[in-house]
């Protein structure tokens, strides 16, 4: 597979963009390869600058649940672009998307739009502190909540891949109010609560962990968090930026039947455009400016193009309900992958929730960050390179989720499994 054009573009990019990328994991450093520059996508496929075709399991890191360039989303964007890209004034579109979100997520009575998942978690935490008058928060090691200063503590995803669990430029004082617990381990939460329950404003969690691979919540884990928050007057924040409208229409809270106090969204609700949102119970949300004392704002928030793409995407998800098929296809892919790896005697642990999946190269079950870190990243790098050379575009890190879209047909799944078998034969 020829990649000379991508390599030339990468050199050019590195001269003017730090590391040649606008987000670190894209640089492929964890797998020791130059990244492919993508010029076009359609359905489950992306095409790079050298004209290579890939079956895409990254889906822009989650948003593209309908596949690339879905005709109805393209139409919605064209229509809106012709009417104007941004006004900095209220528009009917943003009400419609807010209504759809609130209808899908019973815990969200009100929602505020922002421009990224990072802004959503940052704002939700400010609101939780404003609502409770408390200062501290609990997060879980390996959960990623965007690049908010106070949340760059044992963050997964790119931070794990790069081996920098904390970032330079974040003073210790900024993370001093962030306590870290172990995912799927309520005892680790109780330990923190015994010491500081009265000071905790919020517990923030990815209800399905998707930034240290894919780790399902253990039975009782989310329920246990809910009960502890109720007991101690702590707000429970579900960061559903990845899982929202991914693991069910609505999100993990619908799938598992747990009601958080605040929810963060992003990715899918923007249909591929930059969007985030946070919301929850009315009395909490009404503490936000202009009604309340918690300040929060955004020049491009509720941007008409983003709202149009998000509305078109949610309409299709609501009306066509691709979720049962997504579940079936991803279960098939993960199950066959598991069997092939068994046949070739490769230590592995496959996880899946809805259309999110991960193959860890480890011989032990993965229930938390520490378990995930046992995986063989050197083996992953070789596996990744071999799959890429056979036209399968996976996330370039052991610690990322894979995503199946509604556009992945049976033929794409079979081609993927054929490439996997070829890869395993030759590794
Ligand atoms: C992607 C992600 C974020 C950050 O969203 P951005 O739009 O990249 O700022 C936050 N939380 C979770 C769970 C995510 O997966």
**Closest of 120, 156, 132 to residue 30, by C-alpha:** 156
| Residue-level pLDDT, tens digit, the chain, 427 residues | 899 999 999 999 999 999 999 999 999 999 999 999 999 999 999 999 999 999 999 999 999 999 999 999 999 999 999 999 999 999 999 999 999 999 999 999 999 999 999 999 999 999 999 999 999 999 999 999 999 998 988 776 665 554 444 789 988 888 889 999 999 999 999 999 999 999 999 999 999 999 999 999 999 999 999 999 999 999 999 999 999 999 999 999 999 999 999 999 999 999 999 999 999 999 999 999 999 999 999 999 999 999 999 999 999 999 999 999 999 999 999 999 999 999 999 999 999 999 999 999 999 999 999 999 999 999 999 999 999 999 999 999 999 999 999 999 999 999 999 999 999 999 8
Annotation marks residue 144 as catalytic: yes
| Cα-Cα-Cα-Cα dihedral sign, residues 161, 3, 42, 81 | positive
**Closest of 127, 392, 334, 143 to residue 243, by C-alpha:** 143
Q: What is the dihedral of CA 216, 377, 158, 162, to 10 degrees?
A: 150
Distance 142 CA to ligand 1 centre (A): 13
- C-alpha–C-alpha distance, residues 238 and 102, integer Å: 15
Distance 205 CA to ligand 1 centre (A): 12
Q: Evaluate: CB of 145 within 6 angstroms of ligand 1.
A: yes
Catalytic residue among 54, 57, 144, 360: 144
Q: Evaluate: CB of 139 within 6 angstroms of ligand 1.
A: no
Q: Evaluate: CB of 144 within 6 angstroms of ligand 1.
A: yes
Q: Evaluate: CB of 242 within 6 angstroms of ligand 1.
A: yes
Retrieve residue 277's tokens: 């949102």
- Structural domains of the chain, ranges and CATH numbers in brackets: 4-65+322-426 (3.90.1150.10), 71-320 (3.40.640.10)
Annotation marks residue 78 as catalytic: no
User: Residues 36-58: pLDDT tens digits?
Assistant: 999 999 999 999 999 999 999 99
What CA–CA distances, in Å, run from 324 to 248, 311, 321, 355?
Answer: 9, 21, 7, 10
- C-alpha–C-alpha distance, residues 151 and 144, integer Å: 8
| Ligand 1, atom 11: closest residue by C-alpha | 145
SS (H, E, C) 273-341: CCCEEEEECHHHHCCECCCCCECCCCCCCCCHHHHHHHHHHHHHHHHHCCHHHHHHHHHHHHHHHHHHH
**Closest of 243, 213, 221, 219 to residue 372, by C-alpha:** 213
Catalytic residue among 267, 329, 349, 371: 267
Distance 244 CA to ligand 1 centre (A): 11
Q: Evaluate: CB of 116 within 6 angstroms of ligand 1.
A: yes
**Closest of 309, 316, 317, 313 to residue 81, by C-alpha:** 309
Distance 91 CA to ligand 1 centre (A): 25
Complete DSSP assignment for 75-132: HHHHHHHHH-S--SS--HHHHHHHHHHHHH-TT-SEEEEESSHHHHHHHHHHHHHHHH
Task: Tell me the residue length of the chain.
Answer: 427
Position 160 scores a pLDDT of 52
Retrieve residue 42's tokens: 């359609």
């Amino acid at each position: 597979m020829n990649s000379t054009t991508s390599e030339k573009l990468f050199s050019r990019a590195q001269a003017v963009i730090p590391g040649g990328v606008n987000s670190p994991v894209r640089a492929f450093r964890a797998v020791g390869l130059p990244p492919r520059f993508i010029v076009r996508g359609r359905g489950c496929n992306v095409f790079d600058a050298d004209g290579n075709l890939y079956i895409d399991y990254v889906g822009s890191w989650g948003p593209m649940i309908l596949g690339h360039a879905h005709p109805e989303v393209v139409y919605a964007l064209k229509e809106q672009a012709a009417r104007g890209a941004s006004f900095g004034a209220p528009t009917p579109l943003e009400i419609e998307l807010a209504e759809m979100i609130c209808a899908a997520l019973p815990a969200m009575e009100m929602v505020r739009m922002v421009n990224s998942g990072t802004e959503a978690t940052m704002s939700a935490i400010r609101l939780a502190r404003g609502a409770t008058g408390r200062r501290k928060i609990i997060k879980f090691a390996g959960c990623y909540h965007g690049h908010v200063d106070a949340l760059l503590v044992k963050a997964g995803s790119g931070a794990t891949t790069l081996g920098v669990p904390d970032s330079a430029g974040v003073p210790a004082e900024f993370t001093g109010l962030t306590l870290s617990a172990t995912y799927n381990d309520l005892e680790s939460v109780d330990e923190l609560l015994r010491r500081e329950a009265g000071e905790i404003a919020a517990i923030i969690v990815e209800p399905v962990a998707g930034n240290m691979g894919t780790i399902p919540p253990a039975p009782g884990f989310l329920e246990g968090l809910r009960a502890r928050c109720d007991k101690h007057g702590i707000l429970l924040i579900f960061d559903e930026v990845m899982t929202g409208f991914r693991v069910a229409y609505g999100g993990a809270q619908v799938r598992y039947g747990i009601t958080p106090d605040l929810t963060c969204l992003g990715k899918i609700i923007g249909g591929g455009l930059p969007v985030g949102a946070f919301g929850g119970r009315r009395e909490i949300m009404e503490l936000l400016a202009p009604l309340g004392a918690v300040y929060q704002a955004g020049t491009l928030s509720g941007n008409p193009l983003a709202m149009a793409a998000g509305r078109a995407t949610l309409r299709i998800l609501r009306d066509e309900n691709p979720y049962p098929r997504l579940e079936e296809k991803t279960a098939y892919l993960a199950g066959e992958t598991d069997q092939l790896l068994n046949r070739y005697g490769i230590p592995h642990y496959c996880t899946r929730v809805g259309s999110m999946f991960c193959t860890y190269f480890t011989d032990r079950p993965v229930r938390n960050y520490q378990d995930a870190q046992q995986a063989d990243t050197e083996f992953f790098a070789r596996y990744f390179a071999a799959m890429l050379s056979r036209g399968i575009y996976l996330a370039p890190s052991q610690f990322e989720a894979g995503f199946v879209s509604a556009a992945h047909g049976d033929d794409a799944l079979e081609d993927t499994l054929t490439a996997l078998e070829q890869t395993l034969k030759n590794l």
